[in-house]
Structure 1
């Protein structure tokens, strides 16, 4: 009898150890955060049974189109404190998370798998192939080698906690699965069927709003100038807010480029409240002041008084844009600097350093733009990316109320949160 009891206890202990070694893990979302969560979990616990669910028909769809098809993998900002300042929402939480996994860790991870990453002058980092497929192929190969089950075209309709621990997953194809731990890494929660399930598990969804979008402008100052760009401009919302510096691109619909996208990120919720009808002020000369421009004009009067004002003055401004700003300031084509009336000079200075533009809507790439809002940050244990309400439920990536400006920062947030979530799920 004693021997039998001892044998049963030993088998029970072995079963318990096997269960710990081989948890069943479900990752919802086949994008950047989802894949990185799954791959990290597989590396942390090779015995884990991992299933990756993607309701769409393509894996890593946003990775494919990001950076103009090159994939802006990360940014060469390696200080966690400085890096965290690039996030309009989530800065404080990500600062601590970046001490766990930051851009250098990302570069090392890819290098160990044969993917070389290069740095560009503005700090953005891309695969040396300039092809996002390089990143996708790496993930797919690693997932195959790790034995991760991948279900494409299969999403989740609902997610409920089981009384005995773990979760019951109702799939969009009518089947049900069970999991010991689940990670929601489904990207934007806009129109997601998971919102109701997440809320039912006790979580709050912060209001969703588009981020990283271009501005629609119908203005004679930019009409017909699509394709022109100014590399060091400054833009701000007229009623206040933090100015953003960087390139501005004139498009067929209005304005885009890094400075515009950054402004859209920092002001995402405020602009949504205005229904995307608002005014911005542009300094086409970056941080050059009105007085500095006036001094430049005074020198031109003295040294080049016979030169036409339409002749380009500033190297930073394309010729056609300069001519347009001169024209809308009421200055004739044959006006010379020595003859320029004070009121027209003032009008031109205003156009250069504080031109006001009326925005009449936004333009977003439906696949590429980022959404701010999502699962409330305070309801997540950032040491494990685990729910404070529902043990075994984790979150990674854009479904959380975090978002970064353009430049590789949103992917880095996906890698960081995915890494922490994957390690935590693999070792509960």
Structure 2
């Protein structure tokens, strides 16, 4: 059996980027092995079916800051293939992209199917073979430095080089571990927060922009600012998703039980006190419910907060007592919620954990333990915040791996 020059294990975003890049750079025999019946399924369902391809964060150092784990290692990768390169790569291959107001990049068509079509079309046009329902069970390295790959039915193929692009699937970790790699325990990242706070569900759908939130956990503090969304189970939105990613490991260890502190205003104590005192003396005839100290608070949210403070919403501002004023100020500056668990689903199906990044050369994505073994995508202990950053890592690592395999094949040929 003639060996393949490259076998890509995993038919997702990173796997296809690797295969296309390698093929475009002269690697002849390439096959993608996908264990399920579907290709690039995570691409299809991401971003509500739109696929957030990347983020318009053009400077590599700023781009790397969006990865709670792996950012330092990724900096050298992004210096070779960053967000602007990804944008250009897809546009040159027929996928028109657009940059939205929050810097997220989507297909102009708003369809993830066009991203899939672009990658699949370019792979097929370059002669890449694709095999679905080929679940890799075991990989053995022979004495002549070839890899023998077995599926569940013990059918085998031979490869000169292999790349693990299995995402967060446990099978990829097992295969990497068999080659001597360390696996950082995978835990969920990018998730929402559930709370049993009474009547918060009455504010479901309320969204507040540029809010400071903080996790307090065993004398540790994790902070973030961003847009907050109140749901029927608790809290979501970009601010929460990013914070969940930053504190993913600590939250897992604490079984997702912690205190969430919300600061509903950018005002300092003195400024907020003056504002409330002005309302009391200048608008005293109005009821609390009819005049909010912070315009960004919706009426529903303001009523909920007043009830939480145990202050009568129908009280007139002029009748507000000093202790009630202090309670209001403290609540708006430091509103505490007890989080009891993760939300019902992960927003982007991202995990924190995987193959140790200290065992991989991030210039080539080749294993430092087993020559000829490469990695790309989420199988590595790298994860980004929401906004297209996780796909960016897939494209970058896949491109680097494809380039590296082509250089290895050139050396053999010459």
Q: In which range does the TM-score fall when normalised by the shorter chain?
A: over 0.9
Q: Deviation at 1:35?
A: 0.9
Change (3 A) 1:404 1:288: farther
State yes or no: 1:402 paired with 2:382.
Answer: yes
* Aligned residue among 42, 62, 68 for 1:62: 42
Report the equivalent of 1:10: none
The structure-2 alpha-carbon separation of the partners of 1:268 and 1:69, relative to structure 1 and needing over 3 Å to count, comes to same
In structure 1, how many angstroms separate the alpha carbons of the residues matched to 2:32 and 2:128?
Answer: 7
Indicate conservation of the 8 Å contact 1:75/1:408, yes or no: yes
Post-superposition offset of 1:385: 0.3
The yes-or-no answer on 1:288 pairing with 2:267 is: yes
Which one has a bigger Cα radius of gyration? 1
Contact in 1 for aligned 2:228/2:235 (Cα 8 Å)? yes
Counterparts in 2 of 1:29-428, with a 5 A limit? 29-45=10-26, 47-189=27-169, 192-239=170-217, 240-285=220-265, 287-311=266-290, 312-363=292-343, 365=345, 368-428=348-408
CA distance in 2 between partners of 1:251 and 1:263 (Å): 17
Contact 2:189 2:346 in 1 (8 A): no
Q: CA deviation at 1:364?
A: 5.3
Number of aligned residues:
404
Please tell me the root mean square deviation across aligned C-alpha atoms, in Å.
1.7
Which secondary structure state, in structure 1, belongs to the residue aligned with residue 270 of structure 2?
helix
1:364 to 1:420, Cα distance in 2 relative to 1, 3 A: farther
Q: Report the CA distance between 1:313 and its aligned residue.
A: 3.5
User: In structure 2, how many angstroms separate the alpha carbons of the residues matched to 1:221 and 1:350?
Assistant: 20
SS in 2 for 1:407: coil
Once the 2 structures are TM-superposed, how far is the Cα of residue 318 of structure 1 from its aligned partner?
1.8
Cα shift readout 1:233-274 (whole Å, capped 9, x = no counterpart): 111112332311111111122111111111110000000000
TM-score of the aligned structures, taking structure 2 as reference length? 0.94
Q: Residue 140 of structure 1: SS of its match in structure 2?
A: helix
Q: For residues 307 and 242 of structure 2, what CA distance do their matches in structure 1 show? A: 30
Give me the TM-score of the superposition, normalised by structure 1.
0.91
Would the alpha carbon gap of residues 387 and 370 (structure 1) be closer, same or farther in structure 2, given more than 3 Å must change?
A: same
Q: 1:291 to 1:30 in 2, by over 3 A?
A: farther
For 1:345 and 1:166, the matched residues in 2 are separated by 74
What's the CA shift for 1:221?
A: 4.8
Deviation at 1:197, TM superposition (A): 2.8
Select between 328-337 and 101-110 the one with higher mean Cα deviation: 328-337
Alpha carbons 1:265, 1:405 under 8 Å: kept: yes
Which 4+ stretches in 1 moved above 4 angstroms? Answer: none
* SS, match of residue 148 in structure 2: strand
| Unpaired segments ≥5 residues, structure 1 | 1-18
- In 2, the alpha carbon distance for the partners of 1:248 and 1:171 equals 46
**Equivalents in 2 of 1:156, 1:51: separation in Å?**
13
